[in-house]
Structure 1
Amino acid sequence: MTFDERLNAFIKLGEELRNISESQMDEWYFRATSFNNWFTRESVKQSVDAIGQMLEAEKLIKWTDHYPKQDDTHKVVGLVMAGNIPLVGFHDFLSVLISGHKVMAKISSQDPFLIQQVSNMLVEIAPAFDERITLTKEQIRGFDAVIATGSDNSARYFHQYFGKYPHIIRKNRTSVAVVTGNETEEEIKAIGQDMFQYYGLGCRNVSKVFFPEGYDFNPFIQTMESFDQLRDHHKWVNNYDYNKSIFLVNGDEHFDSGAFLLKESKQWVSPISVIFYEFYKNEEDLNTKLESNQALIQCVVGKDVRFIMPGEAQKPELWDYADGVDTMKFLTEL
């Protein structure tokens, strides 16, 4: 396949995903949630819609114009995919194929169905992709390079197993929000979306908020009442009840919205149903906290031009690379 053939296939895939029928979305949800109870119809639709928008022709062309365009190579790139949110490994899948390499992906047991369906759609559009895509639940072998995503613990294993190959290995990261006290109610709600979309399970979900000293939490928590539907999910409620009981038994001060818990902490990654917060004295103090912990942060949400605007954390562009590592540069230089 030429580069243009691959590009046009993904443009067509985007069109089909943007026009997927409600009945097909229902089927995808029912199949996907059987592997991962955290997946809801809304979260599956959000992921499919986000990928459909990601694959718009103008965006794909803008993205790929920054890299060499090559015909198919004989190199095989192994992927170890996560399954914390629907289709979370799609960007790596796209990057490997559009750069001309073959994909050999170990798909997550928590999300094996959706990536297979999207792959099937792509092969139907461009049958030449069939021999360039291998999806398996088994251990992968026979690759030339690897991109692996997992926890800090699994990353240590990845380094041992994949260290001798060209690789990108991603570990735990989380996202944070910066509140100034001048946000509108809609902007606070948008930060809530960044916290609670996908039940906070993604690395681009805000798990910690920085507030200015003296901040009044009451309006913030009242605004977050619009997310009370979190209590409709039994797994979320189980985590909420458990963490609340721990805080009460230990005498830990916290705010309780009735749907989530807000607790002051120096830690960065909060448990499910809990949002950590920390105060900052001034901009210099805030910058020090953020800069000294860059290795832990996926993205920062806030009104400052340096940050991602509230409500946009789960809408990365093609060039917003996980962990700040340019995946396409890595792939085109293999």
Structure 2
Amino acid sequence: MTIEQRRKKLEDLGRFLSQFKRSGIEKQEQVPHNDPYFELLKEKIEAAVHHNGWFTLENVLFAMEQWSEALTEANLQKWLSGYNFQQVTPKTVGVIMAGNIPLVGFHDFISVLVSGHKVLVKQSSNDKLLLPVLADYLIAIAPEFKDTIEILPDSRDGASKMTNFDAVIATGSNNTARYFEYYFAGKPSIIRKNRNSVAVLTGNETTDELAALGEDIFRYYGLGCRNVSKLYVPQGYDFNAFFEAIYPWNTIVNQAKYANNYDYNKAVYLMSLYKLLENGFLILKEDRSLSSPIATLFYERYEDLESVRKELTSRKEEIQCVVGNQVVENEVRFGQTQQPQLWDYADNVDTLSFLIEKV
């Protein structure tokens, strides 16, 4: 397949996914090979919701929406136009996926495919039901993909089950990253570790901006590396406007797993005599760390923005996104962290350049 043919098939996949929205799942006309995959994906979405308590229908469909909006002709052309795929010699690239949010490893999956390599996938047991349907759909609309997609059977040990591959993209915790680096030594690799996202507030944010920040904090229950887990606020910052703006998210505490984390963390902090701010569904704790527990948001006060910029630069290897309004370079707008473009690479590592030049 040519790069143009592969691009068009991803566009078809985006059209297929556009049938699955938070506003409703509705079958559309003129979607290639829609039977039986529409019903199959609908069934697997329901199964995924029961399989993983964090994968609510709202969040799974949100992920589907984001991918359908990303895989358009304009976005795909913009993403792929700056690369020379003619120099690619097809190899087998192993992809070890995380399972913290729905389809979290899908960008790596399509990157390997569109670059012309074969993808060998090890899914997380927490997110193993959705990707196989999308892979089968791609094979249905382009049988040439049959020999370039392999998804390994479910196993707790992803690395040990992977054989006969030439390069690897692996995502995990800081602990698993050390194991991956040892196991995959000698092969071209991208090894991703823990990252967190932060927001820098000045006190001049509008109500709409603070409300949008709620999306960055609470979407996927804060489990993604693009979720804001810490705020930088000026000395004397009044959190009342922030609490009022995020109040529409108050129903999140009705989710049992989230509520359990909220109650547990609040109890631990109170027994430890920490000073807290909380509103019934979110705990604010002053802390220098970037990674906050579920239902908790860390914050840190600053004297001036320049000190924040230096702090963020010194910790850039720990940070995925910085949310703000004209406070730092390459910042993400409020409410946009969970809507990355195809060219917004995890850890700022250009996956396509790696697949073209290093594999």
TM-score by length of 1: 0.97
CA contact (8 A) 1:29 1:39 kept: no
Which ranges of structure 1 fall in alignment gaps of 5 or more residues? none
Q: In the alignment, what sits opposite 2:275?
A: 253
Distance 2:167 2:262 in 1: 41
Shift of 1:71: 8.4
**Pairwise CA RMSD:** 1.4
CA contact (8 A) 1:2 1:70 kept: no
Q: Does 1:12 align with 2:15?
A: no
CA contact (8 A) 1:174 1:203 kept: yes
Q: In the alignment, what sits opposite 1:63?
A: 79
Shift of 1:91: 0.3
CA contact (8 A) 1:70 1:100 kept: no
Which ranges of structure 2 fall in alignment gaps of 5 or more residues? 27-38, 156-160
Shift of 1:234: 0.3
Per mean C-alpha deviation after superposition, the further-off stretch among 180-189 and 141-150 is 180-189
Per mean C-alpha deviation after superposition, the further-off stretch among 79-88 and 121-130 is 121-130
Match for residue 156 of structure 1 among 178, 192, 201: 178
CA contact (8 A) 1:71 1:100 kept: no
CA contact (8 A) 1:29 1:40 kept: no
Shift of 1:30: 1.6
Matches within 5 A, 1:84-233: 84-136=100-152, 137-138=154-155, 139-233=161-255
AA matched with 1:124: A
Give the SS at the match of 1:39: coil
Give the SS at the match of 1:207: strand
Distance 2:214 2:253 in 1: 15
Distance 2:179 2:88 in 1: 31
How many residue pairs were aligned?
Answer: 334
Give the SS at the match of 1:317: coil
Distance 2:317 2:90 in 1: 34
Shift of 1:72: 7.5
Distance 1:298 1:209 in 2: 14
Q: In the alignment, what sits opposite 1:22?
A: 25
AA matched with 1:188: L
Distance 2:87 2:7 in 1: 11
Per mean C-alpha deviation after superposition, the further-off stretch among 218-227 and 84-93 is 218-227
Deviation >4 Å, runs of 4+: 23-26
Q: In the alignment, what sits opposite 1:313?
A: 337
Give the SS at the match of 1:85: coil
Shift of 1:27: 2.6
AA matched with 1:2: T
CA contact (8 A) 1:3 1:71 kept: no
Per mean C-alpha deviation after superposition, the further-off stretch among 107-116 and 136-145 is 136-145
CA contact (8 A) 2:87 2:356 kept: no
Distance 2:90 2:307 in 1: 50
Shift of 1:289: 1.3
AA matched with 2:44: W
Q: Deviations over 1:239-286 (max 9, x none)?
A: 000000001111100111100100000011000110000011111111
AA matched with 2:191: I
Q: Deviations over 1:141-191 (max 9, x none)?
A: 110000000000100100010121000000000000011111111110111
Give the SS at the match of 1:299: strand
AA matched with 2:83: Y
Q: Does 1:289 align with 2:292?
A: no
Give the SS at the match of 1:226: helix
Per mean C-alpha deviation after superposition, the further-off stretch among 63-72 and 323-332 is 63-72
